[in-house]
Amino acid sequence: MHLFPDVMKRIFLLLAAALSVGAAAWAATRPHFGGTLSVEIRGILTSFDAQSKAVADDDFLRDTLLSCVCDRLIGLDSNGEPRPSLATSWRSERDGRSWYFTLRKNVIFHSGATLTPQIAIASLALANPNWRVRAEGGGVLIQSDTPLIDLPYELAEPRNSICLAGNDGRWIGSGPFQLGEFRPGQQIDLKASDQAWQGRPFLDSLHFEMGKTLADQNVDLQMGHADLVEGDVPQPGSVTSQSQAAEPIELVAMVFAPNRPATSDPRLREAISRSLDRNSIFTVLLRRQGEPSASLLPEWISGYAHLFTVTQDLSAARRLATQAGAVTPLSIGYDARDPLAKLIAERVAVNAREAGIGLQPASQTNVRSSNADATVVRLRIESPNPATALAGLGSLLPISSLQKPQAATSLEALYSIESETLKDFSVIPIAHIPEKFAGGSRVHDWRISGWGELNWGYMWMEASQ
């Protein structure tokens, strides 16, 4: 009898646990099926839209749900390298301009539909209008006028999930969980799928509470009202919880609104950049979590972030501000739901005033349509591959020069692209921060990858006493 690798892995976990502990301990700690995992999270979801909101908390929730419900042609292994998922194999031709993917057979969606090339094509074409996607020989052919050198990494991004659309646009996928009850902006439930090709998940269901502050999450974790929450454990060393963090995967940056006369002089924007005390922001506001950065990509992805200067230079900032003739007070917006963005905007304003530039923090209900002269944003980087990550940020910012770096064949070329993009200071990177989670003592075998994905299908819970 043939078993898929993920099914075999779960059986192995069960057998390994049985052999490694005594009979008494086995009854209490063995991996087993069942239970509802209660998760609290800051992000909110109001509709089933696979496109990014350019708000890190909301995008993390969207990516999490997509990963649970819908599969992609390609996944990433524990080292961040492409691995088969709905596509069992692939090959490229014409210097990366043509890619052919062989589809996995007998994949059943939650609606009962079977995976076909047409289903995959519909999802991919919607997310990537510049691609030419068609069926060929029972598989999927993707073609482009420009080389797609890192296409496997791009297809592993959540936005390229293969989903059908149900009532109200609900995602119908082939993943380990299917959508259940949904209250927009408040809660969403996922139910285990018995027919998932990867094997049934251990948990019966996932229950997400949205829009919860970090303070409320930590209290609920300690009180036993939540099993998995974001951020630090409130009492380090607590025996009731465990904490894990991804690599620094969120970009904190200051983005200037285009076509604003008040900020049109690049010397003014450079003056603000040179006034920034990134190390103070890192030490005090971020509590030394992540890294201060003047680069779009974090060091662990690109390897060249250290080449961008992060040192504050108030003398140069004052000189540039004087040359630009900055007299009009400017506004710096931040997401009204994000207390960290508010603190950073306030600190940026303090630094700018030290250089003689007036900045007034302003709360924004929608950072994508901010009416401020500049806005502090937190953007989620969704790939550990540097070219794919840079292209993703280019789409979010949006900056056309960043949206097609896949043709770059070296880190030197990517560094050149990023340097050229940042030289007019329309975007000023400030820091990179990690995504963190804490779990209660009943939750086992959970982990967060370097790029911020959790292994929901392999988590299991001890039975309630």
> Mind listing the pLDDT tens digit for each residue in 154-186?
999 999 999 999 988 899 999 999 999 999 999
Comparing 50 with 329, the larger pLDDT belongs to 329
pLDDT at 51: 82
Please give the C-alpha separations between residue 386 and each of 144, 293, 304, 391, in angstroms, as whole numbers. Answer: 20, 16, 11, 9
Which stretch of 57-61, 164-168, 198-202, 252-256 has the lowest confidence by average pLDDT? 164-168
- List, as one string, the DSSP characters of 399-422: -GGGS-GGG--SHHHHHHHHHHHH
- pTM of the predicted model as reported, rounded to 2 decimal places: 0.89
List of domains in the chain? 71-166 (3.90.76.10), 248-434 (3.10.105.10)
Residue 36 has pLDDT above 70, yes or no: yes
51-96 residue pLDDT tens = 888 899 999 999 999 999 999 999 999 999 999 999 999 999 988 8
Q: Which of 19-28, 122-131, 394-403 is predicted least confidently?
A: 19-28
Backbone angles phi, psi at 121, to 5 degrees: -60, -45
Q: CA geometry: angle at 44 spanning 39 and 49, to 5°?
A: 115
Among 135-149, 325-339, 402-416, which is the least confidently predicted range?
402-416
Average pLDDT (409-436) is 93
DSSP state of 330: E
pLDDT grade, residue 238 (50/70/90)? very low
| Residues 406-431, mean pLDDT to the nearest whole number | 89
pLDDT confidence band for 26 (50 / 70 / 90)? very low
Contact of 332 with 345, CB cutoff 8 Å? yes
d(CA 377, CA 450): 21
Please state, rounded to an integer, the average pLDDT across all residues of the chain: 89
User: Quick one: average pLDDT of 400-407?
Assistant: 67
Residue 1 has pLDDT above 50, yes or no: no
Q: Is a pLDDT exceeding 90 seen at residue 16?
A: no
Pick the range with the lowest mean pLDDT from 169-173, 327-331, 403-407: 403-407
442-454 mean pLDDT: 94
3-state class of 92 per DSSP?
Answer: strand
The predicted model gives 283-300 an average pLDDT of 96
Distance CA 109, CA 130 (A): 27
Task: Give percent of the chain with pLDDT exceeding 70.
Answer: 90
- Specify the DSSP element, H or E, that contains 361: strand 359-364
Query: Which pLDDT score is estimated for 49?
Result: 85
Buried/exposed code over 413-441 (b: 16+ C-beta within 10 A; e: otherwise)? ebbebbeebbeebbbbbbbbbbbbbbbbe
pLDDT digits 0-9 by tens, 350-397: 999 999 999 999 999 988 888 999 999 999 999 999 999 999 999 999
